[in-house]
Amino acid sequence: MASSKFILIFVCFIIGSLMRSTNAQDPSKLTLEYYSKTCPHAQEIVRTEMECFVRADPRNAALLLRLHFHDCFVQGCDGSVLLDDTEILIGEKQAEQNVNSLKGFDLVDKIKEKLEAECPGVVTCADLLAIAARDAVVLVGGPYWHVPVGRLDAKEASLDLANNDIPTPQQGLLTLISKFWAKGLSATDMVALVGSHTIGFARCANYRDRIYGDFEHTSKYNPSSEAYLNKVKETCPLDSGDDNISAMDYASPAAFDNAFYDQLIRGEGLLNSDQEMWSSVLGSQTADLVNKYWADPGLFFKQFSDSMVKMGNITNPEGGEVRKNCRFVNT
Ligand code: HEM
């Protein structure tokens, strides 16, 4: 009796594993040709929309790039970040690093509408984000890379993982490195990917501690940059203005270039987490990379492209579906 029960459990386990594996996502299954027959114009459609958004406001490039990053760090790149809260699903939009911060969901909706009009039920929201992030970078002067596609959209999201896995600006270098390691990304990938902060803005709430000196023991602000520091403090008072924004690369906030690394070398990184890569006493390897990416923009572009593909290849082993609306799982 006990042995037949064991056999039944064993058979159920095997069937369960097989069912899961038929829908499971294997990163090696991502290909450049995935939509070549089913939606041959998918890439052009995303590109045309992105051109329109970035022409209207270059910040839109930063929004889409960050969305892809926050998608990939939670369950893999599976569009989970795009899901709205419903009665039966708790999304990731209220996570500490996302709430009042992550934007661009309306832009994703617009791209998805165009894709659905051309080839209904074919292109996933996760792939849409990966392609849009690449186009975002190119449209503000950054490198081009081929985006392997074929990701599936998750049927679930995880607020807990979003709270735990997405790095925060208050974290020290070793924690940041370990968070990237946990996703299969090296310190080299991290230093290159954080180069994304060459575009876009941060809210005062995220850099107040740094500019008022609370991080003196980790990343001390360069005292010779007093004039710049005072300007940033005007935008970010000690006790108000949480949502006021400053550019992370004040030299060229709307251009994807390597000026961000120069700022770190000057001790002027806006986020403590950014400055850690150059200033941390534990960061000789990361500081070395910062120096290299400032000295050689071509090297930065090459590593950034490679690391974006690597980050984009983090798939959700649970598999999923092709969502009709990026905000909701299919019914
Ligand atoms: C150490 C890891 C990272 C930390 C701690 C971090 C943290 C942050 C913070 C705090 C902001 C400002 C958000 C706000 O104030 O509302 C931000 C903005 C941004 N991040 Fe990161 N980030 C990291 C890595 C990355 C990576 C890997 C990417 C892309 C591949 C990325 C892309 C961006 C972009 C484009 C913005 C500007 C968004 C905008 O203008 O709204 N970040 N990041």
Q: Please give the radius of gyration of the chain, using alpha carbons only, rounded to the nearest integer.
A: 21
Residue nearest to atom 16 of ligand 1 (CA): 101
93 alpha carbon – ligand 1 mean position (Å): 15
User: For residue 183, is pLDDT > 60?
Assistant: yes
Is 129 close to ligand 1, i.e. is its CB under 6 Å away? no
- What confidence tens digit (pLDDT) does each residue in 39-61 have? 999 999 999 999 999 999 999 99
142 is in an annotated binding site: no
Active-site residue set: 70
pLDDT at 40: 98
What is the distance between the alpha carbons of residues 24 and 90, in angstroms, rounded to a whole number?
Answer: 22
Closest ligand 1 atom, residue 204 Cα: 15
Q: How many CB atoms lie within 10 A of CB 331?
A: 4
Q: Three-state SS for 56? A: helix
User: For residue 178, is pLDDT > 50?
Assistant: yes
Is 269 close to ligand 1, i.e. is its CB under 6 Å away? no
Is 200 close to ligand 1, i.e. is its CB under 6 Å away? yes
Mutating to test ligand 1, I would choose from 96, 194, 303 the residue with most ligand atoms within 8 A of its C-beta, which is 194
81 alpha carbon – ligand 1 mean position (Å): 15
Q: How far is CA 244 from the centre of its chain?
A: 22
35 alpha carbon – ligand 1 mean position (Å): 30
The residue-averaged pLDDT of 290-294 equals: 98
The residue-averaged pLDDT of 158-182 equals: 97
269 alpha carbon – ligand 1 mean position (Å): 13
Closest ligand 1 atom, residue 168 Cα: 5
What is the distance between the alpha carbons of residues 154 and 319, in angstroms, rounded to a whole number?
Answer: 7
CB 201 within 8 A of CB 247: yes
Residue nearest to atom 23 of ligand 1 (CA): 194
- What confidence tens digit (pLDDT) does each residue in 59-76 have? 999 999 999 999 999 999
Domains delineated in the chain: 27-166 (1.10.520.10), 173-310 (1.10.420.10)
What is the distance between the alpha carbons of residues 124 and 174, in angstroms, rounded to a whole number?
Answer: 35
What is the band of 20 on the pLDDT scale with cuts at 50, 70, 90?
A: very low
pLDDT at 35: 98
